[in-house]
Structure 1
Amino acid sequence: MRDLLDGLDDEQRTAVLAPSGPVCVLAGAGTGKTRTITHRIAHLIATDAHPVSEIMAVTFTTRAAGEMRVRLRALGAPGVQARTFHSAALKQLRYFWPTAVGGQLWPLLENKLRLVAMASRRVGSGTDAATLRDLAGEIEWAKATLAAPSTYQAAAAKALRDPSVAPETVAKVFEVYESVKRDAEQLDFDDLLLHTSAILEDNETVAREFRARYRCFVVDEYQDVTPLQQRTLQAWLGGRNQLTVVGDANQTIYSFAGASPKHLLEFDKTYPEASVIRLENDYRSTPQVVTLANRVIAGAGAGHRFRLKLRAVLPDGPQAVFSEHPDEPTEASEVSAKIAARIEAGMPASSIAILYRINAQSEVYEKALTEAGVPYVVKGGQRFFARAEVRQAMTLVRRAAESAPETHERGGPVLIDQVRELLGPIGLSDDPPPPGALRDRWDSLLGVVSIAEELADAGNEPGLRELAAELEQRSEAQHAPTIEGVTLASLHAAKGLEWDAVHLVGLTDGTLPIQYAETPEQVEEERRLLYVGVTRARTHLHVSWALSRTAGGRRSRRRSRFLTGIAPDAPARAGTGRCRVCAGPLITPGEIKTGRCHNCPSSADPQLVEALKTWRRQRSADDSVPAFVVFSDATLLAIAERRPTDDAALLAIPGIGPTKLDSYGCEVLAVVGRTR
């Protein structure tokens, strides 16, 4: 028992020792969330609050679930069910379907787009790849938010969704898709949760058996649950309150998919007796990274009472580096050169990441890294356990395990040597081949060896049989090992991961925040994405952006508005100047005149603007000239923003030369002076 509390800080210890439920753990990035969760589960078991068989832990990614199982096994609790929502529901459906529905569980759709195309064709809609992808996305959103075909349009309008396909068409395709799928007796991913919750809600016999088995639930990343996942959780609980939820509202980044932090933020209203514990000591990142992260999220303004502010615990590290580049190829080339230098200095490639807003940004970095001779892994590519060489390696391990005698030599070092010997003939050489297909294969096989090394580190003298079982379990859970190479990932895909050095690239307005983020809520979700990106870095953080997409292109981009007041002002480029607010380039004559981007807020006093307009009306009438001949609106706004106090300050405003200074200077300065 004492061992389970050793090494925990006061906040973590409070979370571990809290009663079995209801408990809400507000855990900031890098605060030891997984450690706290797993120690809490192990403590519940050690104190006989719940046996292993009664506990179910659910999270959002197979990797997180796999990591949780590995840690629980090390804590002496190997039998705890730690799964994703969908994996847990699939296991339950396989067991209960014959009783609740009859027959064997319907097969899971391998490719949803085939049925979406069939449905789209029947209603006369498009069947090109982009349209089908958008239709599938809308159907997934609808099911995640519990919208039926008949209620989709109203739900989409309420959520301010703007699909590329007309909402009425989406509703028709959705209806036909569900009908075709039902006739074919197939299930899609979302059906796993829909059917699980429906069976537990409607079948008392099944519900009684399930709830007698599982009595305690732990839910990770609770800020990102969808209404469908919440409904499933409530069906699992059946009105009970043996529930621990863990989340961070600052990291809510999946609203576009139907997720909502509402259930986390209102947890103590749902359960007035709940214990609410805050974890804010950041053990991942240096004070420089933590400070920057807090400044990014502080830009959202006044936050909810559940918002966390991280406290740095680690020693000082280097300051974050900000850099501007003329174009994307130059940005990618310079980032790759810096990474190559880090690797040359001894930093492992797998401890470095390049993070971007959209997957399309990866191409220029893949090219630049290849040219720099730097190995990389694109997160979101082919799954590790789906690769041909990994399947071949698993077959070799399984066959060797089956043929090995019971007295076969065992133990960590022996196991690792056996695996290397098995995989040698299929491409695992002592030295890595050059970048290319052979190197990709070599990296995959080395990943299999790394799983054997992890198993060996866990002790108990593992052999080939234990490794074969571990590989099968990881394959089922898609719990892939870390492959040696720089990680290329979107900010969404980077959630839950961390690296020693992180390069946040392409941070321009229109990319982050993304161009279609229009409402204040959508823009703030984009800010949280940047926060997630910053908090992935342990020590080194490099933030960059490019003014043009292509080499030699027009440099019309501006750095992200989220960097205003955070990134240092860049030197002005000849002929453009910089925005006084965000330091982005000034492009249009109006921007140059005011010294401010059109996206940045004006600092002008409305009373002064009105006073200047009143003066201009009178003066234009006295001179019998149009008002714009005196001063344009843009010049008046620039005067109101800069509030000049002398002739030199007036002359510094574009649009005011010596002639206009002589004609109007004294009067303008007087108007400005009267409104101070």
Structure 2
Amino acid sequence: MDEFIQRELNPPQQEAVRHTDGPLLILAGAGSGKTRVITYRIAHLIHMHGVLPQNILAVTFTNKAAAEMRQRIEGLLGNAAMSLWMSTFHAACVRILRREAEAARLSPQFVIYDTADQLTLLRQCMKESHIDSEIYAPQSIMRRISTLKNELMDSDTFIQEAGDFGLDEIVSHVYPLYQRRLQDHGALDFDDLLMRTVQLMRRHPEVLERYQHRFRYILVDEYQDTNMAQYHLLNLLAERYRNLCVVGDDDQSVYRFRGANVRNILNFERDYPDATVVKLEQNYRSTGTILEAAGAVISKNDRRKEKTLWTENERGIPIGYFCAQDEVHEA
């Protein structure tokens, strides 16, 4: 396995894969082979250090990314990969909440409402509260509730802190009713999955301890896209063994509108002062010209982790641009 890693990976990738215990920040620039590093790191932990697959939690943001990662791991380890916890954040939370339904005060058969279900229920709650959906857009109220849940603010807390004017006043009426109606239907929405899991861990130390012992090694992809709820969940789970490996690139943080907080990755070394930092700066995807242009733009950001992407690829053709007079000309 070690000879294979030495042959297949560049030196920084090898360092990231061979690192075993303690917090690890992998700053992975675009096209730097981060998925390969994550999968080889998992294989290395299992094959070289005897870590049981069921003691590893690997989370990412999309089902597609999780499936690709699992496929690669199975290619390296075969059936040993079957007991890995490898999924999206939400899928991992569903699994935990169903297992711990009694402590979480849920039915194990709870249903999960998608966006359409949420909007339908929210409109019903607005009607019940005599709030005109022509004046206050249901989508705006739903986005606000989503933000509150991602910030771990439940409806009871929000009622105490909400202002008595504007959108928050409306939300203070709708949010508690919306949560009661979800409960009546035996349902959770996507944001509940994260919030309720964090609440479960905080309120039941024995449950938290059980999952801390289970997840002795935690790996997180696209860490720059995590929100507050995900941040706190990861830190709770990693608190005992502190074997938290996060992979990401603050330069690629583009989901603030969905609650992502780039400070999670920027402050990782503050949260874990003993963290090892590995930079993956060799790009395998782009030409030198593209990397120079991208570097010139992103270097203007004064709140970033310093990194310089480079490539052994050819320089490529010069970058062209087109200035349109208006949207018709652009089309």
* Fold agreement, TM-score > 0.5: yes
Task: Between the two structures, name the one with larger relative contact order (CA 8 Å, sep ≥ 6).
Answer: 2
Amino acid at match of 1:96: E
Structure-2 residue corresponding to 1:245: 246
Inter-CA distance 85–293: structure 2 relative to 1 (3 Å threshold):
same
1:219 and 2:214 correspond: no
1:26 and 2:27 correspond: yes
CA RMSD of aligned residues (A): 2.5
Structure-2 residue corresponding to 1:295: 296
1:322 and 2:325 correspond: no
Post-superposition shift, 1:298? 2.0
Structure-2 residue corresponding to 1:3: 4
Contact kept in structure 1, 2:151 and 2:229, CA below 8 Å: yes
| CA distance in structure 2 between the partners assigned to 1:254 and 1:150 by the alignment | 28
Structure-1 residue corresponding to 2:85: 81
Q: For 2:113, what is the secondary structure of its paired residue? A: coil
Post-superposition shift, 1:229? 0.8
Amino acid at match of 1:263: N
Q: For 1:187, what is the secondary structure of its paired residue? A: strand
Amino acid at match of 2:168: P
1:92 and 2:92 correspond: no
| CA distance in structure 1 between the partners assigned to 2:268 and 2:318 by the alignment | 37
Contact kept in structure 1, 2:103 and 2:204, CA below 8 Å: no
1:311 and 2:310 correspond: yes
| CA distance in structure 2 between the partners assigned to 1:268 and 1:175 by the alignment | 38
| CA distance in structure 2 between the partners assigned to 1:34 and 1:210 by the alignment | 25
Inter-CA distance 113–231: structure 2 relative to 1 (3 Å threshold):
same
| CA distance in structure 2 between the partners assigned to 1:154 and 1:257 by the alignment | 25
Contact kept in structure 2, 1:211 and 1:237, CA below 8 Å: yes
Q: What stretches of structure 1 move > 6 A for 4+ residues in a row? A: 153-157
| CA distance in structure 2 between the partners assigned to 1:171 and 1:296 by the alignment | 42
| CA distance in structure 1 between the partners assigned to 2:106 and 2:181 by the alignment | 20
1:56 and 2:57 correspond: yes
Post-superposition shift, 1:247? 1.3
TM-score for both structures, normalised by structure 2: 0.89
| CA distance in structure 1 between the partners assigned to 2:272 and 2:74 by the alignment | 31
Alignment of 1:414-425 (within 5 A): none
Inter-CA distance 11–238: structure 2 relative to 1 (3 Å threshold):
closer
- The CA deviation string for residues 536-582 of structure 1, in whole angstroms up to 9 with x for no partner, is xxxxxxxxxxxxxxxxxxxxxxxxxxxxxxxxxxxxxxxxxxxxxxx
Alignment of 1:596-675 (within 5 A): none
Amino acid at match of 2:110: W
Inter-CA distance 237–25: structure 2 relative to 1 (3 Å threshold):
same
Contact kept in structure 2, 1:224 and 1:259, CA below 8 Å: yes
Q: Which has the higher helix share?
A: 2
1:284 and 2:285 correspond: yes
- The CA deviation string for residues 444-502 of structure 1, in whole angstroms up to 9 with x for no partner, is xxxxxxxxxxxxxxxxxxxxxxxxxxxxxxxxxxxxxxxxxxxxxxxxxxxxxxxxxxx
- The CA deviation string for residues 594-619 of structure 1, in whole angstroms up to 9 with x for no partner, is xxxxxxxxxxxxxxxxxxxxxxxxxx
| CA distance in structure 1 between the partners assigned to 2:265 and 2:86 by the alignment | 20
Inter-CA distance 127–274: structure 2 relative to 1 (3 Å threshold):
same
| CA distance in structure 2 between the partners assigned to 1:314 and 1:273 by the alignment | 35
- In structure 2, stretches of 5+ residues that fail to align are none
Inter-CA distance 99–151: structure 2 relative to 1 (3 Å threshold):
closer
Structure-2 residue corresponding to 1:125: 131
Alignment of 1:388-403 (within 5 A): none
Alignment of 1:29-428 (within 5 A): 29-76=30-77, 78-79=81-82, 80-98=84-102, 101=105, 103-110=107-114, 111-128=117-134, 131-149=137-155, 152=158, 166-300=167-301, 302-304=302-304, 306-332=305-331
TM-score for both structures, normalised by structure 1: 0.45
| CA distance in structure 2 between the partners assigned to 1:200 and 1:53 by the alignment | 19
Q: How many residues align?
A: 324
| CA distance in structure 1 between the partners assigned to 2:213 and 2:233 by the alignment | 17
| CA distance in structure 2 between the partners assigned to 1:230 and 1:102 by the alignment | 23
The range that moved more, 184-193 or 82-91, is 184-193
| CA distance in structure 2 between the partners assigned to 1:119 and 1:52 by the alignment | 45
Alignment of 1:412-561 (within 5 A): none
